[in-house]
Chain A
Amino acid sequence: MRFFRALFAALLLTVPSALRAQPQLSGNALQSSNILNPNISAVGWLQGEAGRRKPVVEEAAAPFAVKEAEIAFQSVIDPYTRADVFVAVEGEGGIELEEGHLTWYSLPGGLSLKAGKFKGAFGKFNLTHRPETAFADRPLSHEAYLGEEGLASAGGGLSWHIPNPWLLVNLDAQAFVLPGADEVPAFGKAKRNDLLYIGRLGGYYDLTESANITLGGSCAFGAAGREFNPVTASSSTLSSRLYSLDLTYRWKNPRRAIYRSLFWQTELLWNRREITAGSYENTMGYFSHLEYQFARRWRAGGRYDWTRAPGDGTAHESGGLVYLTFMPSEFSRISLQGRQVDRSGGTKEKLGFLKLTFNIGPHGVHLF
């Protein structure tokens, strides 16, 4: 609650000055309805799957299916605010608001403010939309702690470029309505108005003209369900703390930018979860992903996973995924992937995937 008060106070202090500082929209700018339409784009994701999931799932995946079409509406609203709306239409028929948020980008002091439903600034991988990741699946550790869809909820957050002349350092502070444990397993709702607090400090540095590195540390604090004490006939809220370290290294020679590149990303998650009042279980998981672009249209990559489940320090799962991706153009990709997972019960799961994605319209580019 204190965070929301601070956020509200910051908003009161910063928004009016920003509003005063901006010029007014000219009348001419309002005349062309086409120009003022939002950018509309769609990312389509089709996927084939071969092999048998273990443990066996009740409803086996179709050998080939439309996984998702993500439709984006992005536009500047006025001189102070922009809106980004991403609607996921799932192949099985469900429609979900994946993200829908306002960003006040004209605040002074290198600040920006976001409100709505959006992906939490927890690590780097969580920010990437599912069709746009290199993988047909998600890293085991992210699935175990942050769920199949990643950490996204309704809330608000401040982002601050910490001023310094040498490197870009960014601090994010966000508060969300805590999602249910079925969505984000590292946490568990105890009360309807439980909040999840996230902070991330990240820095970016150019090592050379061709190589750069991003290093970040994140933390998330929230409830981990309720415990009922039959002796006192009262219940208390359990807590969970999730920490993350992320490291991303990129190499691309700008003189031959379209032909060769290297990407390496590693994320480590560490969870301290209260199992019963005052008793904690520490667990962790990580993944490491390496991708090499060896020709203009071709990339090969692999990922190694290792994870325990939140609150369960007794067993772990590990596995790996390899892929070969062909990109006919910037706007489509065809990826053949193979995955093996050593499940905690001692079984091995081997799956093959064909992931096809395409992009129509001016889908916004993300900074890396």
Chain B
Amino acid sequence: MIVGEQKPIEEIKKMVAPYKKLLILGCGTCVKTCFAGGEDETAALASALRMAFRTEGVSIEIDEQTVERQCENEFIQEAAKKIGENDAVLSLACGAGVQAMARRFPKEPVYPGLNTTFIGVQESHGVFTEECSGCGNCELGNFGGICPVTRCSKKLLNGPCGGSQKGICEVDANTECAWQLIIDRLKTLGQLNNLRTYIPPKNWKTSNSGGPRKLVREDHII
């Protein structure tokens, strides 16, 4: 899923301060699962913001709605009515959702209420870890299903650096050394020989380095 985190309320307040009628729009898929932008978080933020302005004697009307996914037009459409009734939208979707909103409603100011953090998984309840960089050329098969491009602090493709100690990355005591995980897993799979293979420099053309990416599915275009 795409993991996000709500921005500090002070920052949000500053962004929406110029408006008299604000719609907070939640997103019911990824960011709901990571407790950042679903119905509950939308309602809580709306309530907190209303109170924040009220304590300062500022009057602002704050409306709320949550759609299934802000990255798809057919769901965004459901918010059209409320968007028309308000001066601005605070989107609690990921960066893609915010931009999809801005594209669909070119005349409405849209602000991000979240910081989109990464593509990851919920490792345990409330703990999210980054697992994928979306590099466009998946090589997980070489690495026992653990991505060194994302999970090694130095993106090393040919083995751990000299800073791996007791399974921990030198950069942060709370980060597992991806290469220790890779080696352990290859051992389990009986594929330790993979480690001897020289992995050539990565082709970053398929990643964001190649410029903004676009995927065209001819079979879905009429």
Report if A and B associate in a common complex: no
Interface of B with A (CB < 8 Å)?
none
